[in-house]
Amino acid sequence: MAIYNSLKILNENEIEELFKLPKIDHEDRESLFEITAEDKQYLSKEPELRVKLNYILQIGYFRAKRNFYRFDFHEVKDDAQYILNRYFCRSPIPNKAVNKNKHYAAQHFIMEMHGYSRHSAQFEIELVRQANRLSKRDLTPRFIFDELLHYCEQYQVVRPKYSTLQSMVSKAITREENRLLTKLENLLDKSSRLTLDGLIANEKTISDLALLKKDPNGLTTTEMEKELSKQSSILIVFEKSKHMIPELGISRQNLQYYSELCDYYDSYRVRAFSKKKARLLMLCLIWQRFTKINDHLIDYFIYKTNWYETEASTEARNCVYEAKVKASRDKIIAS
């Protein structure tokens, strides 16, 4: 179940795909609900039809999604009827569900058979640690979420509920952000704070900085002069950031994350953040934009160097040609 007032990671279709009862196509039922020798071992000990049916449904769903579900037989009547027709002489669907003990006993047997386990309190601690480690690499919620799912699969642990993972991701992001904000406040001197706060307070600054993400319209001298002008406007802050960014211990991906966040929001929304967070966003944006402009200027330098070399080579060939023509004419006149 999703925590709807918490961090949104998946859309409804994605939640259904991962955490809701699987919808099995007619073509897949034959393989997913196949009874193996191990399954027969379990079924032979259960005399009741409804217990047998519940087990076969659970093993089929586990094969499909590596997850377990609580269901009523009539919720999955197409799958249930297929199993009854195939293995139990077209018996009718039982009206009464199995009790919880039998339901979870079947799950326990299935997990043992496949080498899986439920997530324990200890594994949940490891999962939280993994989320914290991942947040240092990339604060994108979907990245952390997908990696946690992969971690569960790697250790063959049945994935926790969506709300549990949702909470882990949210807390990991908050934890890393708080670390960065605290560290930044310790690194910023009074002058740097005033400079950043002045940029944030200036309604025109963020909209001007957002223009920096736009690539120049070609490698022309006019466009590069504009790039130089942009760069000079943020040079002071960038010089300060050169010392602070390494000290922050922030990954390149998270630099990009905060820079894009600052791009995404308008100046009013950025100012609505806490001062600490707004400073972090502005610092990352300036770092990224300054670096990008440098790339443009380097490209321009390479382009112009190649252009001058080509022009010089062409001019040299023309001069040689003209010299040869002149020499040929002179020979004719001399003779």
Cα–Cα distance, 226 to 228 (Å, whole number): 5
**For residue 3, pLDDT beyond 50:** no
- How confident is the model at residue 1, as a pLDDT? 43
Show the tokens assigned to 333: 């006149």
Pick the residue with more confidence: 174 or 224?
A: 174
Task: Summarize the confidence of residues 33-47 as an average pLDDT.
Answer: 93
Q: Please tell me the least confidently modeled range out of 64-68, 163-167, 188-192.
A: 188-192
Give me the percent of the chain exceeding a pLDDT of 90: 50
Count Cβ atoms within 10 A of the Cβ of residue 313 and give its class: 0-12 exposed, 13-18 middle, 19 or more buried: exposed
- How confident is the model at residue 308, as a pLDDT? 76
Task: Summarize the confidence of residues 297-310 as an average pLDDT.
Answer: 74
Q: Please tell me the least confidently modeled range out of 97-111, 149-163, 318-332.
A: 318-332
Task: Read off the pLDDT band of 193 (50, 70, 90).
Answer: confident
Cα–Cα distance, 318 to 323 (Å, whole number): 8
Count Cβ atoms within 10 A of the Cβ of residue 56 and give its class: 0-12 exposed, 13-18 middle, 19 or more buried: buried
List helix spans (H) across the chain: 12-19, 26-32, 37-43, 49-65, 77-87, 100-114, 121-137, 141-154, 162-187, 190-201, 203-210, 221-233, 235-248, 252-264, 267-272, 275-334
- How confident is the model at residue 60, as a pLDDT? 96
- How confident is the model at residue 233, as a pLDDT? 67
**For residue 217, pLDDT beyond 70:** no
- How confident is the model at residue 4, as a pLDDT? 41
Give me the percent of the chain exceeding a pLDDT of 70: 87
Cα–Cα distance, 36 to 39 (Å, whole number): 5
Q: What is the DSSP letter of 157?
A: E
**For residue 31, pLDDT beyond 90:** yes
The gap between the terminal CA atoms of the chain, to the nearest Å, is 102
Q: How many Cα atoms are found within 13 Å in the side-chain-facing hemisphere of 18?
A: 20
* Tens-digit pLDDT profile for residues 267-301: 667 777 888 888 898 888 888 887 777 776 677 77
Q: How far is CA 291 from CA 134, 227, 262, 272, 329, in A?
A: 25, 11, 16, 27, 57
Closest CA to 295 of 222, 213, 199, 240: 213
Contacts of 25 (CB under 8 A, 6+ apart): none
Task: Summarize the confidence of residues 138-147 as an average pLDDT.
Answer: 96
Q: How far is CA 119 from CA 114, 155, 157, 163, 165, in A?
A: 15, 10, 6, 14, 12
**What is the residue whose two structure tokens read 């040079």?**
235
- How confident is the model at residue 204, as a pLDDT? 65
- How confident is the model at residue 65, as a pLDDT? 93
Task: Summarize the confidence of residues 58-62 as an average pLDDT.
Answer: 96
What sign for the dihedral angle of Cα 96, 64, 17, 27?
negative
**For residue 331, pLDDT beyond 90:** no
**For residue 199, pLDDT beyond 70:** yes
Task: Summarize the confidence of residues 10-32 as an average pLDDT.
Answer: 91
**For residue 213, pLDDT beyond 60:** no
The rounded radius of gyration (Å) of the Cα atoms in the chain is 33
Domain extents in the chain: 33-115, 190-321
Task: Summarize the confidence of residues 64-82 as an average pLDDT.
Answer: 93
Pick the residue with more confidence: 331 or 45?
A: 45
Are 112 and 106 within 8 A, CB to CB? no
**For residue 335, pLDDT beyond 70:** no
Q: Please tell me the least confidently modeled range out of 129-133, 141-145, 270-274.
A: 270-274
